[in-house]
Amino acid sequence: MSLDANEAELIRTFVRQLTTKYDRRYWLECTSQGKALDELWRELGRAGYLGVTVPEQYGGSGLSMSRLTILVEELANHGLPTFFIVISTAMGSVAIAKHGTEEQKRRYLTTMADGSEKFCFAITEPDAGSNSFRVRTLARRDGDNYVINGQKVFISGVDQADHMLLVARTTPADQVKDKREGMSLFIVDTKAAGLTMHRMDTRVVMPEGQFEVFFEDVRIPRGNLVGEEGKGLKAIFDALNPERISASAMATGVGRYALGKAVEYAKIRTVFNTPIGAHQGLAHPMAVAKTRLELASLMAHKAAEIFDEGGDAGMYANMAKYAAAEAAIDAVDIAMQVHGGSGFTGETDIITLWPIARLLRTAPVSREMILSYIAQHVLGLPRSY
Ligand SMILES: Cc1cc2nc3c(=O)[nH]c(=O)nc-3n(C[C@H](O)[C@H](O)[C@H](O)COP(=O)(O)OP(=O)(O)OC[C@H]3O[C@@H](n4cnc5c(N)ncnc54)[C@H](O)[C@@H]3O)c2cc1C
């Protein structure tokens, strides 16, 4: 459902007020201590904002990507990006709302909506990479259970999450005719026996770190399968557009935050006889960055609107993700240039934005995968892989 301007403004006003209490300093403190943004998360949940992607009967306010896009964007506009809002509130809620059983919806959507529980998402494996069909983590049926063995990498926030949305094979790739068959989606308790995790040495400045996760005979009830066994791709694909749209909103927000700081600095820093913002060598790239950010943001909101109307948001979501990541990189880059040497100090908090902006070109889906999607599915060019 598309939003009227009043409702959009209400969400933005709420977030703006919240960020006076939970500001960038709070975010940096949590991040440096490896601590979850618990207080902020709880307040968002209490106020009903984590339920924007949860249908009303499960404690939310309806499955609305338009509302979520505004929420994610406004948080990031104030320097408060979080992976969980993309992974849990966008992907987790949508996958379960669209493909979960009644029992799963009652159990998990309600706690996601009130902020008391969070999901992480695990698809990436060392040998599969962007080719997700090659995942080898295997979930084998054993009576009323599944027994899971395998390994995932780069799993964000698994230490802070209550549950994991796991992509595993229920039939190994070499035993299916079509590589898309035999993949399934599961809900796994992150404290399950046999599940271990090791923090990876990633240097992205975010409150959620990345982990290698090992599954050694992890036993989960059969009722934790989301959707049909062997046909998990449908559930995963349905959650990809929400993931891309919310990642776009995060990117444009990060870009705006960086650019806002650059503008303030450019107005006061004077090294010759006028503030540096008067020099077109800096002013024009800032103007270009602002233009690119707003164009990307429009595309993300358009994608959200089409998703909410039940249309095919694929083209818009992919283009938004591409444009937003590139715009965020440009914005942080010019913000660093404007700050000169100070851009590299912790004090100005500009260099801290570079890894997240740059990451968004690579994850949650890489620039090349996005462009291949557009080339193949929008332009109708022959497949490359
Ligand atoms: C900070 C961080 C957080 C992450 N969080 C999560 C998470 O929570 N859950 C999760 O499951 N994963 C997560 N990931 C993994 C992330 O989604 C992957 O790193 C990303 O999708 C790229 O996969 P890869 O690293 O295996 O690269 P590869 O697939 O090995 O690709 C390497 C490069 O080759 C390019 N490439 C590959 N194939 C082609 C082709 N056919 N044509 C053109 N170019 C190609 C890619 O675009 C990329 O640039 C995270 C990663 C990072 C760094």
CA of 72 to the centre of ligand 1 (A): 22
Residue 294 pLDDT class (50, 70, 90 cuts)? very high
CA of 46 to the centre of ligand 1 (A): 34
Segment (H or E) for 188:
strand 183-189
CA 156 to mean position of chain CA atoms: 10
Question: Could you check whether 5-118 and 234-378 share the same CATH topology?
Answer: no
Distance CA 182, CA 178 (A): 9
Look up residue 46 and give its DSSP letter.
H
Residue 234 pLDDT class (50, 70, 90 cuts)? confident
pLDDT digit string (tens) for 254-283?
999 999 999 999 999 999 999 999 999 999
What pLDDT is recorded for position 384? 87
The CATH topology of domain 234-378 is Butyryl-CoA Dehydrogenase, subunit A; domain 3 (1.20.140)
362 lines ligand 1 (CB under 6 A): yes
175 lines ligand 1 (CB under 6 A): no
Residue 116 Cα distances to 33, 45, 68, 163, 262, angstroms: 21, 8, 18, 12, 37
Contact yes or no for 306/313 (Cβ under 8 A): yes
Checking if the pLDDT of 1 tops 80, the result is no
Q: What is 5-118's CATH superfamily?
A: Acyl-CoA dehydrogenase/oxidase, N-terminal domain (1.10.540.10)
Segment (H or E) for 354:
helix 354-362
What pLDDT is recorded for position 385? 84
Looking at residue 220, its amino acid is I
Segment (H or E) for 121:
strand 119-122
Distance CA 358, CA 42 (A): 29
Q: What is the overall mean pLDDT for the chain?
A: 96
Protein residue with least CA distance to atom 45, ligand 1: 368
Protein residue with least CA distance to atom 13, ligand 1: 154
Residue 135 pLDDT class (50, 70, 90 cuts)? very high
Instruction: List the catalytic residue out of 243, 264, 294, 326.
Output: 243
- Which of 87, 118, 362 has most ligand 1 atoms within 8 Å of CB, for mutation? 362
Identify the architecture of domain 121-230 in CATH.
Beta Barrel (2.40)
Which whole number is the average pLDDT over 201-217? 98
Protein residue with least CA distance to atom 38, ligand 1: 130
Contact yes or no for 113/59 (Cβ under 8 A): yes
What residue spans define the domains of the chain? Answer: 5-118, 121-230, 234-378
What pLDDT is recorded for position 51? 97
Judge if pTM exceeds 0.75: yes
CA of 280 to the centre of ligand 1 (A): 37
Which whole number is the average pLDDT over 73-101? 97
pLDDT digit string (tens) for 351-385?
999 999 999 999 999 999 999 999 999 999 999 88
What pLDDT is recorded for position 43? 97
Active-site annotation holds for 102: no
Write phi, then psi, for 219 (nearest 5 degrees).
-100, 125
384 lines ligand 1 (CB under 6 A): yes
CA of 154 to the centre of ligand 1 (A): 9
What pLDDT is recorded for position 306? 97
Checking if the pLDDT of 177 tops 70, the result is yes
What pLDDT is recorded for position 3? 81
What pLDDT is recorded for position 2? 62
Q: Which residues of 12-50 are buried (b: 16+ CB within 10 A; e: fewer)?
A: eebbeebbeebeeebbbebbeeeebbeebbebbbeebbb
